[in-house]
């Protein structure tokens, strides 16, 4: 099939390449000329493992190309996958649908034949119906609107697209259903389940999935507080609970909490919608989930201050700026937020991340940055791990000890094996573990305090 993908961000660019990979002819559309220029060269403008290679191969095979022209898009295909972002509103927790409606109505003005718009962004219930009414005003031919939510995770987006757990399609009628089944036939033939629903149910699917995962993370972090108070082994406890098939082992890592461009936004957006529709229990529950997650950041700051003493004038290394491993995405990064707050308390914070340094520097130019973990740790009074990159687990504790001034490590995301570091003379603290103030290591006088 010939398909367009409107919006070439993390979702759209990956989706365009993967649709070409399974045999379709795809035209990616974005209004950002710089972004399109990078994609035309066979590179993503963000870090996603394997995507550059796929883009290069599909462009060379002439199954994939990119444009800024909506006129070209409307002429190319009658099936358009709408993949623009839906950030939170500036002064509200609800979704900002400006880009969704702008992209769809702009496209509709160029449509001259019966067409189908398939929404992929995360939106509140009722968006499909609203969008159908809006595009009907400017279209010169009938346009149907369906909703097909994405379930991609940055860092594993290609696998999530080509081997998804499920495909959900909210359709207005049989023709739209038939089109979506044809798009995904290569995947469904391989055994991927396709669930056809009404549009409102499909609109709720992504937000609800993220809300469940967020609730699980917030609950295990709250239980982590109990472990810290009692001395219980959080890792063993999570393993014991995770072996229950009704619960499962995923998302049971206590630590600094979740971040990124989707989960926090989706929890807050669903809570805002629930509140607006008088679904009070849902609104209250989701608000607590968000509050618990947000509180993790202050808990990490309090832990750093408890183990290191007053942070003013002290050098703290932050290992990890991305909101999770495998990406350069720093949107709502818990680690960077903690680093920023420590900096405002007077600490000298030096940040290292394997791939996200550039994005972090743009968003937090007042922080210092290093080109390696050990360089960031040079003469540090404490090391804080904010992202569980495998690189940090592989660091030699003795080599790190030679770099720092004080062998104090706060592992906010269960990134390392504490016993190995403790054997090398390190004091290791974590939010879910008890910490005896008497165990705080003596800190040598700092030249900066002289």
For 279-299, what is each residue's pLDDT tens digit?
Answer: 999 999 999 999 999 999 999
Q: Is the pLDDT of residue 450 over 70?
A: no
Q: Looking at residue 91, what is its pLDDT?
A: 81
Chain segment 46-72, per-residue pLDDT in tens: 999 999 999 999 999 999 999 999 999
Given a cut of 50, whether residue 312 has pLDDT beyond it is yes
pLDDT band for position 440 (50/70/90)?
low
The Cα–Cα gap between 444 and 8 comes to 51
2-197 shares its CATH topology with 232-450: yes
For 270-283, the DSSP string reads: HHHHHHHTT-HHHH
> What b-and-e string marks burial along 383-414, b requiring 16 or more CB atoms within 10 Å of the CB?
bbbbbbbebbeebebeebbebbbbbbbbbbbb
pLDDT at 445 over 60: no
Percent of the chain with pLDDT over 70: 97
The residue-averaged pLDDT of 129-144 equals: 94
Alpha-carbon gap, residue 68 to 16, rounded angstroms: 14
Domain boundaries of the chain, sorted by first residue:
2-197, 232-450
pLDDT at 263 over 60: yes
State residue 434's pLDDT score.
85
pLDDT score, position 392: 98
Least reliable range by pLDDT among 90-99, 122-131, 276-285, 308-317: 90-99
What pLDDT was estimated at residue 449? Answer: 44
In angstroms, what CA-CA distances link 235 with 257, 374, 395, 433, 442? 16, 27, 21, 10, 28
> What is the pLDDT confidence band of residue 444, given thresholds at 50, 70 and 90?
low
199-247 pLDDT, tens digit each:
999 999 999 999 999 999 999 999 999 999 999 999 999 999 999 999 9
- For residue range 75-119, what is the model confidence (pLDDT) as tens digits? 999 999 999 999 999 888 899 999 999 999 999 999 999 999 999
When the candidates are 3.40.50.300, 3.30.930.10, 3.40.50.720, 3.40.50.1110, the CATH number that belongs to 2-197 is 3.40.50.720
Q: What is the pLDDT of residue 138?
A: 85
Yes or no: say if 348 and 315 are a contact pair by the CB < 8 Å rule.
yes
pLDDT tier for residue 447 given thresholds of 50, 70 and 90: very low
- Fold annotation for 232-450: Rossmann fold (3.40.50)
Query: Encoding tokens for residue 287?
Result: 């608000």
Mind telling me the catalytic residues?
Answer: 262
Q: Does residue 442 have a pLDDT over 80?
A: no
pLDDT the model gives residue 446: 47
Q: At a CB cut-off of 8 Å and minimum separation 6, what does 295 contact? A: none
Cα dist from 16 to 37, 165, 405, whole Å: 15, 19, 49
pLDDT of residue 128 exceeding 80, the answer is: yes
Residue 297 CA: distances (Å) to CA of 256, 293, 368, 428? 6, 8, 20, 18
């Amino acid at each position: 099939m010939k398909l367009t993908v409107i919006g070439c961000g993390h979702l759209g660019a990956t989706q365009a390449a993967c649709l070409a990979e399974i045999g379709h002819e795809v035209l990616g559309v974005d209004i950002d000329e710089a972004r399109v220029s990078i994609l035309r060269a066979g590179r993503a403008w963000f870090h996603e493992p394997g995507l550059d290679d796929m883009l290069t191969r599909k462009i060379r095979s002439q199954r994939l190309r990119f444009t800024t022209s909506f006129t070209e898009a409307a002429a190319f295909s009658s099936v358009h996958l709408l993949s623009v972002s839906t950030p939170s509103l500036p002064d509200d927790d609800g979704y900002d649908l400006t880009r969704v409606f702008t992209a769809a109505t702009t496209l509709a003005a160029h449509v001259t034949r019966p067409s189908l718009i398939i929404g992929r962004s995360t939106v509140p219930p009722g968006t499909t119906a609203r969008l159908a009414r809006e595009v009907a005003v400017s279209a010169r031919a009938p346009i149907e609107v369906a909703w097909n939510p994405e379930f991609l995770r940055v860092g594993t987006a290609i696998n999530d697209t080509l081997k998804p757990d499920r495909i959900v399609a909210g359709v207005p009628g049989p023709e739209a259903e038939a089109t979506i089944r044809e798009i995904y036939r290569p995947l469904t033939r391989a055994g991927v389940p396709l669930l056809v629903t009404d549009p409102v149910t499909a609109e709720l699917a992504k937000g609800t999935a993220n809300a469940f995962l967020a609730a699980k993370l917030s609950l295990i972090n709250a239980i982590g507080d109990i472990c810290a108070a009692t001395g219980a082994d959080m890792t063993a406890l999570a393993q014991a609970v995770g072996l229950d098939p009704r619960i499962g082992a995923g998302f049971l890592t206590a630590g600094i909490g979740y971040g990124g461009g989707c989960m926090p936004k989706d929890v807050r957006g669903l809570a805002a919608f629930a509140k607006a529709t008088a679904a009070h229990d849902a609104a209250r529950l989701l608000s607590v989930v968000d509050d618990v997650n947000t509180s993790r950041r202050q808990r990490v700051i309090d832990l750093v201050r408890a183990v290191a003493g007053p942070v003013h004038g002290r050098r703290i290394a932050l290992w990890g700026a991305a909101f999770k491993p495998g990406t350069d995405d720093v949107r709502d990064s818990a680690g960077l937020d903690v680093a920023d707050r420590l900096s405002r308390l007077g600490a000298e914070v030096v940040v290292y991340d394997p791939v996200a340094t550039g994005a972090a520097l743009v968003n937090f130019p007042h922080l210092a940055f290093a080109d390696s973990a050990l360089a960031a740790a040079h003469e540090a009074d404490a090391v804080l791990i904010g992202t569980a990159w495998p690189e940090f687990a592989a660091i030699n504790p003795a080599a790190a000890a030679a770099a720092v001034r004080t062998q104090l490590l706060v592992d906010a995301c269960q990134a390392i094996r504490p016993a190995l570091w403790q054997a090398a003379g390190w004091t290791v603290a974590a939010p879910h573990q008890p910490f005896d103030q008497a165990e705080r290591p003596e800190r040598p006088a700092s030249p900066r305090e002289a």
